[in-house]
Amino acid sequence: MIRAAADVFADLPAEVEVRNEARVHLWYEEKFGVPCAPYTSTEAAIDSFAATTCCLGVRLEPGGRWRVYAPHGLSDVFGLVVRPNPVLAPRAVYEAKTARWRRQWPELTVLEWPTA
């Protein structure tokens, strides 16, 4: 699916990233040092993303209706605010991602990982 999506979206002037969240539990602990239970739904996977700003999914449902899943709302997305989501990802994952994003989008406001 990832390779097929790359071909489908190749002509777009933006990068579209497709990932298979159903397999994350197979490699997550080895890569990040904390276990990840298998996800029971796409929404459960989205809920565990390292930043609440990234907790966003869009699906085309049967009948042509679009469904948006944004459990933390869209204010941070449109306000260019990146907020940590310490549900699963370790602090280092959040900080690595936000460092990369800051280089690409210096106008982002990146909130610090909670200390308590």
Q: What is the chain's pLDDT, residue by residue, as a tens digit (116 residues)? A: 888 888 999 999 988 888 888 899 999 999 999 999 999 999 999 999 999 999 999 988 999 999 999 999 999 999 999 999 999 999 999 999 999 999 999 999 999 999 87
Q: Quote the pTM value.
A: 0.82
Alpha-carbon span 89 to 69, nearest angstrom: 20
Which pLDDT score is estimated for 22? 87
- The SS3 assignment for 68 reads strand
Cβ-contact 72, 111 below 8 angstroms: no
Nearest to 75 by CA among 112, 113, 109: 109
Q: Which long-range contacts (CB under 8 A, 24 or more apart) does 72-76 make?
A: 76/52
Alpha-carbon span 42 to 61, nearest angstrom: 14
Alpha-carbon span 43 to 58, nearest angstrom: 10
* Burial state string for 60-86 with b = 16 or more CB within 10 A and e = fewer than 16: eeeeeeeeeebebeeebbeeeebbbbe
Length of the chain: 116
